[in-house]
Amino acid sequence: MKFRSIFIGFMGTLGVVMAFAGLVAPETALGETGLSIVILSNLRAFMAAEVMMALFALYSLKNKQYQDAALIFLLITLIGWTIGQATSYVVDGAPNTFTTVSILLQAALIPVTWAALKKK
């Protein structure tokens, strides 16, 4: 099995699980309580989009012609989340340990995603 297929399968599965948890129970997934309806609505919208992108990544495993698109979506998502969370870290202060670790993990996955995109 090729590196890119393994990576897409791993990231797609991880994305579905994590985003679905955030879609169903965002307060629990984030470890926060008392979030406003507006914040909950926006979190659920983002998580639903993440679920769909992760499902597309998994779909691309059977339809190889879509793998480049799936990896590009993943790369854009990782870069966007990392920039957004790093900006919040600077502007709003340090988040909890889970979020800090996720920022570092997302940043580390950017070059791995790029490498998977370049492998054919």
- Please identify which residue in the block is written with the tokens 């012609």: 65
Give pTM, 2 decimals.
0.84
pLDDT value for 32: 79
- What is the residue-level pLDDT of the chain in tens, covering all 120 positions? 699 999 999 999 999 998 998 889 888 877 778 889 998 899 899 899 999 999 999 999 999 999 999 999 999 999 999 999 899 989 999 887 878 888 899 999 999 999 999 987
What is the number of structural domains in the chain?
1
Residue 70 is part of which domain span? Answer: 3-118
Asked if 87 and 24 touch (Cβ cutoff 8 Å), the reply is no
Asked if 16 and 43 touch (Cβ cutoff 8 Å), the reply is no
pLDDT in tens, 13-29: 999 998 998 889 888 87
Joined tokens for residue 42: 């926006």
